[in-house]
Amino acid sequence: MPYELYYWPEIQGRGELVRLALEEAGADYVDVARLPDGEGGGVSALMAFFDRTDIARPPFAAPFLKDGVVVIGQTAAILLHLGDRLGLAPPEPTGRLWVHQILLTVLDLVGEVHDTHHPLGGHLYYEDQKAEALRRAEDFRTQRIGKFIRWFETILERSEPAGPYLLGEAVTYADLALFQVVEGLAYAYPLSFSAALAEAPRVAALRRATAERARIKAYLASERRIPFNEQGIFRHYPELDSA
Amino acid sequence: MPYELYYWPEIQGRGELVRLALEEAGADYVDVARLPDGEGGGVSALMAFFDRTDIARPPFAAPFLKDGVVVIGQTAAILLHLGDRLGLAPPEPTGRLWVHQILLTVLDLVGEVHDTHHPLGGHLYYEDQKAEALRRAEDFRTQRIGKFIRWFETILERSEPAGPYLLGEAVTYADLALFQVVEGLAYAYPLSFSAALAEAPRVAALRRATAERARIKAYLASERRIPFNEQGIFRHYPELDSA
């Protein structure tokens, strides 16, 4: 039975971390809300799920994954589950936990990126909180991007065996997530991020190595890969960026 | 060897979710930064850790836990680790993942609480972003508190076996985290939260049951429990609350 991923069909968002894991593993999966409405897809399929009263353990929000009868919400929990099943995390407990810790830190960064354009919350349009976004983005550019990227560079530098991935030769879901956030920052904050990335050669090498993996390369070139856009988490608003 | 918890000594914060787990289990632990400086404690001990270059897998931020030679950052990863070791999560994989999923959702709520008083970021004082905090807090009160609390109530309602805890009779780290966020919201948003809690009797019952557990009760009455204050995540700013 294929995995069923439920996520917003128009954006990469947090769901992209799950898509990348499924794609890298060549897993059989359905991206439910990207199917036509007539085939049980669309946003309506996603929303209808939240109205169901027969799910003992309902998710709080998207993304969530159906694996047979098990429904799993929270990106980090989905990847913990898939990491074991798809061979994208080491079986040894300490390494498995380390991969999870890195993923959680990537997710913190993703959350901060979101907050740069929505500092007052998701109930207002960007245009209605633009002045606040300018202030928040300045903090993000000057204080946060560098701090995160330096940490990723440090853990790659200290890793044994050395790269290109976080645990050496074997790719994990944390590598895919780091690749995604690097792609997203390069799209959303090209000016400020290029400076940070220039000082993180190992992060840049991980990005290149991931993009060249056969299944990831095919995925990125396919129509399954939704382009970055200004409805997602990584939005390119030139007024928020600065060299 | 005792567990060593590293977290800011003046606040409950995210570290409190770890403290509660250690306390409930009666674990042998040291809250390092709460020791006097002369005994290797204080904020300086915490900060010095981040400067160490001999840690192969350094944490990005506090809290982090030392368990022998293993260092674990990220609250959720720490609790995943401790849940197994302290008997605060079921050994069966689906239940273990469910507990983790709930914990991650509690942490999302904790993050949103923090953002109500710091919508523009941690680099500015509350006083310098008060106008923005008023707008963010309004969204939080009217759109978010109820949504989270209703979800917790729903999963308690659908749980088999039924309460008082999320998995029935056995307490997990997710119960302790939910207890903590309920205590925090009752402190920070007494007016708006009391309305939400009045419609969530199972959440209220879980809170009461947790507070009555022998070790939790002793901990809450001890000096080890740092009082809520306006340096932490749960801050009582009356201007942000509303009935």
Amino acid at B107: L
Query: Which whole number is the average pLDDT over B21-34?
Result: 98
- pLDDT value at position B122? 84
Instruction: Find the closest chain B residue to A50 by CA distance.
Output: B151
* Pairing status of strand B70-73 against strand B64-67: antiparallel
Q: Residue type for B44, please?
A: S
Other C-beta atoms closer than 10 Å to the C-beta of B136 total: 28
B6 in contact with A, Cβ within 8 Å: no
For the domain covering A3-86, report its CATH number. 3.40.30.10
Q: Is the pTM of this model over 0.90?
A: yes
Residues B58, A140: C-beta atoms closer than 8 Å: no
Write down the domain spans for chain A. 3-86, 93-213
Which helix (H) or strand (E) segment holds residue A113: the answer is helix A93-117
Nearest one of A144, A166, A18 to B120, comparing CA atoms: A144
Asked whether residue A153 carries a pLDDT value surpassing 90, the answer given is yes
Count CB neighbours of A211 within 10 A: 13
- Closest chain A CA to residue B122: A139
pLDDT for A203-226, tens place per residue? 999 999 999 999 999 999 999 999
Interval A137-145 mean pLDDT: 94
Q: What residues are paired with B31 via a beta bridge?
A: B5
Query: pLDDT by residue (tens digit) across A173-203?
Result: 999 999 999 999 999 999 999 999 999 999 9
Contact B143, B116 (CB under 8 A): no
pLDDT digits (tens, 9 = 90+) for B36-53: 999 999 999 999 999 999
> For B215-233, what is each residue's pLDDT tens digit?
999 999 999 999 999 999 9
Domains A3-86 and A93-213 share a fold: no
Element (H, E) at B32: none
B76–A104: do the CB atoms touch at under 8 Å?
yes
Assess whether pLDDT exceeds 90 at residue B71: yes
H/E stretch holding B225 reads none
Two structure tokens written together for A208: 């290149």
- In the sheet that holds A70-73, the strands lie side by side as A29-31, A3-6, A64-67, A70-73
Please give the helix or strand (H or E) that residue A5 lies within, else none: strand A3-6
Q: Determine the average pLDDT of the residues in B94-115.
A: 97
Beta-carbon separation of B136 and A123 below 8 A: no
CA distance B118 to B121: 5
| Span B80-93, pLDDT tens digits | 999 999 999 999 99
SS3 call for A65: strand
B52 touches chain A (CB under 8 A): no
Contacts of A56 in chain B (CB under 8 A): 158-160
- pLDDT on residue A161: 86
Structure tokens at A128: 């209605």
Sole residue written with tokens 């993942």? B97
Whether this model's ipTM surpasses 0.90 comes out as: yes
**Fold that domain B93-213 belongs to in CATH:** Glutathione S-transferase Yfyf (Class Pi); Chain A, domain 2 (1.20.1050)
